[in-house]
């Protein structure tokens, strides 16, 4: 989902290069890193680089399934992973830096009724045209500043699970909704549902405990949560608090 924020619309696409790059990948702006190069063991399932997201298609700007973050956010996330490892858990990333063009594409998608739509999974019972007015899709996203993360909780010992291909409603029983973890977190990631709210009373006690475990680890390492989305966290001391970026993930 798209936690909207306000800020400068200067899209920083010409900053200096830093870090190592995968083969054929574009260099990153200064201050950004590919998390996989620092912490390859942290699980990634970057959904907008696949068709399995609410739009039903790969999203513009996501040329590679890769978590890109500011170095400050990446370092804090690695500390959170180590903290959770001591409790037998790990992290699973669903989205990191999000190009501004992707946010624009979400808003365009809302206005195109003939476009692909996995609403039966990601926004059951809510019409596509109502997603903006109900606050699920916004014109700006903190993700475009590079220090916001969409992340879930997994058991440290569990095998990596692939991106789902199909599922039932995201707020349905754990056995039928998109499988992302052996742990119950109340809904799947990117679920346009009231049950996605951190403190929602209509989820199991296990799901509330798992959400609390995730939130506590992220908070301890400097991230702020978002009450309407249990998976959404922003580094409190983000290095680019007013600058959305628009470089593609390649």
Please say whether the beta carbons of 12 and 248 come within 8 A.
no
Classify the C-alpha dihedral 125-128-130-134 as positive or negative.
positive
Residues in the chain: 250
In whole angstroms, what is the distance from residue 153 CA to residue 182 CA?
9
Main-chain dihedrals φ then ψ at residue 12, nearest 5 degrees: -85, 100
Closest CA to 43 of 191, 151, 177, 167: 151
C-alpha atoms less than 13 angstroms from C-alpha of 99 in its C-beta half-sphere: 20
Token pair belonging to 240: 């680019």
Q: Is 180 one of the catalytic residues?
A: no
Please say whether the beta carbons of 94 and 239 come within 8 A.
no
Choice among 194, 229, 238, 250 that is catalytic: 229
In whole angstroms, what is the distance from residue 172 CA to residue 185 CA?
11
Please say whether the beta carbons of 215 and 230 come within 8 A.
yes
Classified as helix, coil or strand, 22 is coil
For the annotated catalytic residues, the residue numbers are: 229
């Amino acid at each position: 989902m798209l936690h909207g924020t306000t800020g400068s619309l200067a899209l920083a696409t010409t900053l200096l290069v830093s870090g190592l790059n995968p083969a054929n990948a574009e260099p990153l702006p200064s201050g950004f890193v590919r998390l996989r190069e620092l912490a390859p063991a942290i699980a990634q399932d970057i959904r907008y680089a696949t068709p399995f997201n609410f739009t039903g298609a790969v999203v513009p700007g996501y040329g590679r399934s890769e978590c890109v973050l500011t170095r400050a956010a990446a370092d804090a996330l690695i500390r959170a992973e180590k903290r959770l490892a001591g409790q037998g858990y790990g992290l699973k990333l669903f989205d990191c830096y999000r190009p501004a063009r992707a946010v624009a594409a979400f808003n365009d998608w809302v206005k195109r009724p003939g476009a692909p739509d996995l609403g039966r999974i990601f926004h059951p019972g809510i019409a596509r045209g109502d997603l903006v007015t109900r606050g699920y899709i916004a014109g700006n996203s903190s993700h475009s500043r590079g220090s916001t993360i969409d992340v879930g909780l997994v058991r440290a010992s569990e095998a990596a699970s692939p991106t789902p291909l199909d599922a039932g409603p995201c707020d349905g029983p754990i056995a039928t909704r998109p499988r992302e973890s052996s742990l119950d977190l109340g809904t799947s990631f990117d679920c346009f549902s009231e049950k996605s709210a951190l403190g929602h009373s209509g989820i199991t006690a296990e799901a509330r405990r798992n959400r609390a475990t995730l939130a506590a680890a992220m908070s301890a390492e400097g991230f702020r949560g978002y009450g309407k989305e249990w998976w959404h966290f922003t580094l409190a001391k983000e290095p680019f608090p007013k600058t959305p970026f628009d470089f593609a993930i390649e």
